[in-house]
Structure formats: C-alpha cells, structure tokens
Amino acid sequence: MTSVNDSRPIGYLDLARTNANFRRLWGGNIVSLFGDWFNTIAIYRLIEELTGSPLALGAVFVTKMLPLALASPIAGLIVDRFNRRRVMIVSDLVRAVIVLGFLLVVDAGDVWLLYLLTALQVMVSAVFMPAKSASLPNIVEGKDLLTANALMSATWSTMLAIGAAVGGLAVEALGPQTVFVIDSATYLVSAWFIWRTVIPQDTEEVTPTATPVRDGLRTIAEGWQRLCERPSVGRIALAKAAWGLGGGAPVFLLVLLAEVLMPDRPAMGIGILYSARGLGTGLGPILARAWFPDERRWPTLLGLCIGLSGLGYVLVSQVGWLWGVVPLVVFAHAASGANWVLSTVLLQQRAEDRFRGRVFATDWLLVTLVESISVLAAALLLEYDVASLGTIILLFAGVQILTGIVWLLTVVPRERRAASSEMPQSGSILEDMDR
C-alpha cells in the first residue's frame, strides 16, 4: 500500500482536472447533494407546519437514519457483488421518482406518507453511499485518497451550506412542493454524470441459489466477522459512531434552535444554521489535510475531534443570539467533518476491495443506529418537557466530550502499540495493523 508520505498528494483542482472519472463522479455528487438539502429543509418545515411536535420532527430524523442502518447489510452485499456504477445510476433514478411522492403530502393526515417516502428514499441512499465510497479507491490512486475524500466532504459541506441557505429561501418563497420537484431533477442529472464514469471493480460472483434475506443475514455476519478479525479496521469503523453518540441529537436540535432564534422566518433560520454546519464540515477536512499530513497522528485526532465537537455545542447551549451561535456551529462541525473524512480514508486504505462495500455498510449501520438513538432520546426529553432546549444541547455535548476522552484512553493506545510493532520497512499506519 502506498503511504501518503511516499510522494506529495495531488492538489484538489489537479485531481478534478486530470482524473475524468473522479470528475464525473464528483459532478454528479454536487448536483444531487444540492437537491438533497433543498429537500431536507422542505421536509423539516413541512412536518413542523403540519404537526408542531418535537417528537414528530425527531421521528423524521430517525426515519432518515434507521432505515439506512437496517438496509446497510444488504446494501453492502449489493455494492460488493454488483457493478457499482450501475448500482448508483439505478439508485439515482429510483430516488428521482420517490421524491415526487412528497407532492402528495398536503395535510396532517398525510404525515404517514411523508415518513414512508423518507424511509424509501433513505433505503435507496443506503445503497448509493457505500457504492460511492467503495468506488473512490478504484478510480483514485492511494496517495490521493485523502485529497479525493476531503474534496468529496467539502462538496457535501458546500452543498449543505449553499443548499440549506438557498433551500430555506426557496421554501419561504416557492413552497415545499416546488423544492421537491427540483430535488427530483437533480437525481436525473446525477445519474447522467455517473453513466459517463468508468469504475473498475473486483467483485465476487453472485450465488444463484441465495435469497436476499439469507444474503443479508450472511452479510451482517461477514461484516462483523471482518471487523473482529481485522481490529485495525474495526477500531476505525467505530469513529463515526463514537461521534454520533452525542453528536446526533444536536444536529436535530439545530432545527428547533433556529425556530427559537428566528421565529418570524424559521425556514430561513434553519437554512442559516445548517449552512454553518456545512461550512464547518467543509473546513474541517481541509484543515486536517493541511495541518496533519502524518497519518500516524490521525487516530489521536479522531478522538480530539469528537471532544472538540462537544465543546462547540457546550458553548452553543450558552448563547441566545443567532449570529453568536453560527461560528460555534462552524467550529463544532469542523471537528466532526475532520473525524468523518480521516476515518473514511483509513477504512478505505485498510479494507480490501472485495470486502470494502460490506465494511462501509457496517460503518453506516453503526453510525445510523447510534445517531437514531441519540435523536430519539432528545426528542422524547423535549416532548415530555423533561428539560429545556439549552439544557438538552448541553447534556449531549457532555456525552460527546466524554466519548472523546474514552476514545483517547482506549483506542489510541492500541493504535500506538500496533504502529510500534510494524516491520521497519512499513512506514505507514495505513497498512494492516491487526493487533
């Protein structure tokens, strides 16, 4: 495996300019993500208008995560066994149809349909996302993976920032229905970009007699077995979930905080705070790439980022002014963005291609389950007036800080022992460290 220290990584613009396949995959990602954040703001505002219930809003967040967790095992099998390019194209086309169904949600009696359509959209995304992550090492050289992932993450963040801000304005000006149509169109454009992309792949042969359920159950077993057999992979697969334990709830609570801080134009307030989140998640990986090029320091950085994200939300809970909260949200999510990208790169480097889809599906399974629990707990605390909004944000921020400390005390020493036991000629912690 090539170490990022062996040669200088390619620049962001050079990667997009010289690698046509990455450029096309990236281009499709830009368009679909822009539509997704339009869609997200519209759904949040629609559920608030129809119900006014914190628990109902929390259920939207859970519906955006839990089906992702449940579908991930079968998704991992699909991603490893079938052509990833075709899988992504079909996923985009199916999602283009699903989001048009939101046009049918017009009153409180249709809320069940909103949940159903959200679940279906997320389940299809559960296939698309690991397919995209697993495809990057097949079209980008190993030394350039950090650049590619940082650019993808910055794109997600930029589209979150732009899509949330513009989406908030669009929802206020045009209404949720127009926003749903725009989202559907972006999936079609994304499918066109991916159709033009060439993605080499090492796939296993599909067992003709296997059933989807049997394959799904076997994938769960194989995924967990792989994480247990390869501790170097298993440890890093916990990084996002460790953040999500305390970090899932504050992301949900930003919607309610926006309504408190900007009650006259809540959709715009949501857009502003989610744009701050996007700016942070974009800056974090870029700064991590510039300041921490030595991957041997990344496991420690993962734990620090979890704690720093919590510290940001501790400060958010103490500020009652919108423009005072914005930089704190940027700070908190710069830390979470760095955690996300660095752990993704380590997983891509440590997992073999034929298992990579299952590894990323298991990674998604862990983080979405944990975030669902975090969001549901916060929603219940609010629904039954157990504590104020600021107190609940502070509580989950404390959980993040504690989780970061536990990571530093448990995972980092194991990584250091593994690094010290490597052969002298192995200069990168990105190589297998299975102790």
42-67 residue pLDDT tens: 898 889 888 888 899 889 888 888 88
Between 62 and 282, the higher pLDDT residue: 62
pTM for the model stands at: 0.73
**Is residue 329 pLDDT above 90, yes or no?**
yes
Local confidence band at 218 (pLDDT 50, 70, 90 cut-offs): low
What is the arithmetic mean of pLDDT over 116-131?
Answer: 87
What is the arithmetic mean of pLDDT over 31-37?
Answer: 81
What is the arithmetic mean of pLDDT over 379-390?
Answer: 91
Task: Report pLDDT for 428.
Answer: 43
Query: Which domains are seen in the chain, by residue range?
Result: 12-200+211-420 (1.20.1250.20)
Task: Please tell me the distance from the alpha carbon of residue 333 to that of residue 316, in angstroms, as a whole number.
Answer: 12
Task: Report pLDDT for 395.
Answer: 96
Task: Report pLDDT for 206.
Answer: 44
**Is residue 5 pLDDT above 70, yes or no?**
no
**Is residue 278 pLDDT above 80, yes or no?**
yes
Task: Report pLDDT for 215.
Answer: 62
**Is residue 3 pLDDT above 50, yes or no?**
no
For the ranges 212-221, 255-264, 337-346, the lowest mean pLDDT is seen at 212-221
**Is residue 183 pLDDT above 80, yes or no?**
yes
**Is residue 358 pLDDT above 90, yes or no?**
no
What is the arithmetic mean of pLDDT over 104-109?
Answer: 89
Task: Report pLDDT for 9.
Answer: 65
Task: Report pLDDT for 334.
Answer: 94
Tell me the pLDDT tens digit for each residue of 404-429. 999 999 988 888 887 776 544 444 43
Between 323 and 143, the higher pLDDT residue: 323
**Is residue 88 pLDDT above 80, yes or no?**
yes
Nearest to 358 by CA among 78, 153, 68: 78
Task: Report pLDDT for 425.
Answer: 43
Please state, rounded to an integer, the average pLDDT across all residues of the chain.
82
The backbone torsions φ and ψ at residue 203, rounded to the nearest 5 degrees and listed phi first, read -110, 155
Task: Report pLDDT for 105.
Answer: 93
For the ranges 98-102, 222-226, 350-354, 394-398, the lowest mean pLDDT is seen at 222-226
**Is residue 211 pLDDT above 70, yes or no?**
no
